[in-house]
Amino acid sequence: MNWEFNLPVKIIFGNKKRYGLKECIDEIGGTKGVLVCGKSFEKSGVANEFVEISNGKIAAIFSDVRPNPTTDNVDACVELMRTIGADFAVALGGGSPMDCCKAACAIARGHDSIKSYHSGGKKISEDEVIPMIAVATTSGTASEVTNISVLTDLEKNLKNPMNDPLMYPKTAIIDPELTLTVPKQITASTGLDVLAHAIESYWATIHQPICSACSVYACRLVFEWLEKAYNEPDNLEAREKMACASIIAGVAFSHPRTTGSHACSFPLTNIYNVPHGEACAFTLDYFLRFNAQNADENGRIQRLAEDCGFKDAFEMADEISAMKKRMGMKTTLSQIGCTTNEQIDELAHKSMSMLMTRNPIELKEEDIRDMYYSLR
Ligand SMILES: NC(=O)c1ccc[n+]([C@@H]2O[C@H](COP(=O)([O-])OP(=O)(O)OC[C@H]3O[C@@H](n4cnc5c(N)ncnc54)[C@H](O)[C@@H]3O)[C@@H](O)[C@H]2O)c1
Ligand SMILES: [Zn+2]
C-alpha cells in the first residue's frame, strides 16, 4: 500500500479562538483584506465584530454569497478584492462563504473570470493567489481544511468541485461558540454531511490509514453528539464535539475524497434544492447497506460499524435511517418532489459524476436508477 499525506493548514481549535484573528492575519503578512460571509452575519453584527478584531486590517465586507455559491458570486467577490488591492481574505461561514472565498483568493491577483478555471480548464497559478483564513460557523463541510471549492455555474446548470494544491486556506479557526446560533434543521443537515465525509472517505477506492483513523473517530463523535446538538442547541459541549467531528472528518476526506452519496447529492441539491448535508444523507444508508453487502474488502466496513458500537453495517445503516427521520430529514423522492420516471432517470444520469468512480464497487447508471426507484 502506498500513500502520501500533506495537509498544509494551521488548525486552531477552541472556544473564543476567533479573538486571535489579528495575530493570524499578522502571521500571513496581511495588510488589507476582505471578509467574505453570508448576509445574516452582516445583519447580526458578527461581521463588524470581525472587522474590529482585525484591528482595521479587514477593509471591506463581501456578503453577496448564496447557499451553494455560484461562479457569479465568486466573480463579484474577486472584483472587490481586485478593486481594493486585497492581499488576504477571511471567510466567515459555512461551506458556502468559505468556498466562494477560496475560489476568489485563488485568482485574486489575476484578470480572468473563475469560469475559465471552474469549467474552462485553466490552471490556478501561484502568482495569482492571495492567502486566506477560514473561520468555520457550521460543523459540516470542513471546507476550512480542504483545497476544494464547490461552485455552481448557473448558465451551464453545473454544480462541480474544483480543487488545486494552491487552494488550501493558510489558517483554519474553529471556534465552537460560533455554531451556537445554527438553527436545528441546519445542525442536522450539516452534521449528517460530517457523517457522510467520514464514512465515504473510509471506503473510497483511494482510502489511506491516517484518513481512515480519522473517519472512525469522527463517526463515533457524530453518533454520540449530533442529536444532542440538534435537541439542545445551546449545549456548548455538544457543539464542541460536533465541531471536532467536522474538522476530523475534513482530515478524513482531504485525500480520499468522497464517493456515491456526494455524487448523488449534487443533482439532489441542484434540481430539488435539498441542502447539501441532507442531500448526502439521502442515499448514505443505502450506500452503506449496498457496499457492506457487495464491496466489503477484508471486512473493513464491518469493522467500522463495530468500532462505532454496532453489531454490523446493516444495524449502523438502520440507525442512520432512524436518525434522519428523528431529525426531520427528507427520506423519499416523493417528499422532495421527484415523482415521475423521467425525473428519476434524469437524477440517475446526473448522479454519475467523477466521485461515483471512487465508490468501492463500480456502479452503473442502471444501478443508481434502481437505487432511486427504491427510494420513491
Ligand atoms: N469545500 C468542501 O470541501 C465542501 C465539502 C462539502 C460541502 N461543500 C459545499 O458547502 C456548501 C454548504 O455549506 P454548509 O452546509 O456549511 O451551509 P451554508 O454555508 O450554505 O450555510 C447554510 C445556512 O446556514 C446559515 N448559517 C451558517 N452558519 C451559521 C451560524 N453560525 N448561525 C446561524 N446561521 C448560520 C447560513 O446563513 C445559511 O443560511 C455547499 O455548497 C456544499 O456543496 C464544500
Ligand atoms: Zn459534503
Q: Report the nearest-CA residue for atom 1 of ligand 1.
A: 143
| Any atom of ligand 1 within 6 Å of the Cβ of 99 | yes
**Residue 244: strand, helix, or coil:** helix
Q: How far is the CA of 182 from the centre of ligand 1 (A)?
A: 10
Q: What is the structure's pLDDT at 278?
A: 98
With a 6 Å cutoff on the Cβ, whether 148 touches ligand 1 is yes
pLDDT of residue 324: 98
Phi, psi of 37 (to 5 degrees): -150, 170
Which stretches of the chain score pLDDT less than 50? none
Residues with CB under 5 A from ligand 2 (ion): 193
Residue extent(s) of CATH 1.20.1090.10 domains in the chain: 180-374
CATH topology (fold) of 10-178: Rossmann fold (3.40.50)
pLDDT for res 157:
83
pLDDT value, residue 160: 86
How far is the C-alpha of 247 from the C-alpha of 241, rounded, in Å? Answer: 10
Q: Which residues pair with 135 in a beta bridge?
A: 92, 173
Q: For residue 68, give the ligand 1 atom closest to its CA.
A: 41
The DSSP bridge pattern shows strands 158-163 and 148-153 to be: antiparallel
Interval 311-365: pLDDT, tens: 999 999 999 999 999 999 999 999 999 999 999 999 999 999 999 999 999 999 9
What per-residue confidence (pLDDT) applies to 365?
98
- pLDDT at residue 108, as a whole number: 98
Q: Are 298 and 237 spatial neighbours (Cβ–Cβ below 8 Å)?
A: no
**Cα(280) to centroid(ligand 1), Å:** 13
pLDDT score, position 1? 85
Report CA(204)–ligand 2 centroid distance (Å): 14
For ligand 1, say whether the CB of 182 is within 6 Å of any of its atoms. Answer: yes
Are the CB atoms for 244 and 13 separated by under 8 Å?
yes
Residue 159 is predicted with a pLDDT of 85
d(CA 214, CA 212): 5
Return the pLDDT at 70.
Answer: 97
First to last CA, the chain: 40
The pLDDT value recorded for residue 208 is 97
Taking the centre of ligand 2 as the mean of its atom positions, its distance from the CA of residue 213, in whole angstroms, is 19
R_g over Cα of the chain = 20
Look up residue 233 and give its DSSP letter: T
Residue identifier of the C-alpha nearest atom 33 of ligand 1: 182
Reduce the secondary structure of 125-170 to three states and give it as a string.
CHHHCCCEEEEECCCCCCHHHCCEEEEEECCCCEEEEEECHHHCCC
Domain(s) of CATH 3.40.50.1970: residues in the chain: 10-178
Rounded to the nearest angstrom, the distance between the alpha carbon of 97 and the centre of ligand 1 is 7
Query: According to the CATH classification, is domain 180-374 in 1.20.1090.10?
Result: yes
